[in-house]
Amino acid sequence: MKKISILLLLIVCITACEKDDVKKSSQVDTVTEIKGKQLYEHHGDEVCCPNERGKQSAYNFIAHDYINGVEPLGNNPNRDMLEHNGLETTTTAFGFTSGASSIWGGLHGGNGTTKYVKVSNFNYDNATKTSIKNAYDQGSSSTTVNSVQNGDLYVAKIRNMEYYVVLKITGVNTTTKNDFTFDYKYSAR
């Protein structure tokens, strides 16, 4: 009788542990969406943030907030996405980088470790950490995206961590060519 009771208790414990593991793995694969962000070339900040040049010219995917892309000068470990190209360069295309920005001859830089892969057949609406990671692993990554277009999708690995985002470009200012809007989904770390 004792052996049967112990065996039943063991079966109940194993079943409960398996259910917990399934719940934990599904929670790990979920993503959260942030909508309506806008990245400006630092001169474009005069439109969004007068007298605060650079305020919305870089983005930090860990803090989920803008970071100044102009101050301080040099590389910044919290700049995952920084203005690149645009009106201050020889091209009118506007993009982003985590490396050295072409603005002001490369004097402004990101962390150099966040890397992006452009994807075309990615299901943004049903994104999971697994699907984002798989898309990233299958592509060729770079710190720099020279030009963005409305509807572009990028998957990114943030700061060499097991932390991923999928970025959707939702609008490009075709008149001034100095800002774009984006939504993104990020995975649990």
pLDDT tens-digit map of 140-150: 999 999 999 99
**Where does the pLDDT of residue 10 fall: very low under 50, low under 70, confident under 90, or very high at 90 and above?**
very low
In angstroms, rounded to a whole number, what is the distance separating the alpha carbons of residues 145 and 149?
11
Closest to 143 (Cα-Cα) out of 132, 158, 124: 158
Helix boundaries (H) for the chain: 2-28, 45-48, 129-138
Closest to 86 (Cα-Cα) out of 142, 146, 46: 146
Please name the residues in contact with 29: beta carbons below 8 A apart, sequence gap of 6 or more: 128, 129, 130, 187
* Most confident residue range from 15-24, 99-108, 168-177, 179-188: 179-188
Residue 103, pLDDT > 90, answer no
Residue 104, pLDDT > 80, answer no
Instruction: Give this prediction's pTM.
Output: 0.80
Query: Is the pLDDT higher at 58 or at 93?
Result: 58
**Residue 135: predicted pLDDT:** 98
Measured from the Cβ of residue 1, the count of other Cβ atoms closer than 10 Å reads 5
Query: Which residue type, as a one-letter code, is found at position 147?
Result: S
Measured from the Cβ of residue 43, the count of other Cβ atoms closer than 10 Å reads 17
Is the distance from CB of 58 to CB of 66 less than 8 angstroms?
Answer: yes
Residue 85, pLDDT > 80, answer no
**Residue 102: predicted pLDDT:** 81
**Residue 72: predicted pLDDT:** 74
**Residue 8: predicted pLDDT:** 44
pLDDT tens digits, 47-70? 566 666 677 889 999 999 998 887
Residue 17, pLDDT > 60, answer no
The stretch 118-131 carries a mean pLDDT of 96
Residue 13, pLDDT > 90, answer no
* β-sheet bridge partners, residue 142: 116
Quickly tell me which residue has 């101050």 as its tokens. Answer: 71
In angstroms, rounded to a whole number, what is the distance separating the alpha carbons of residues 156 and 182?
14
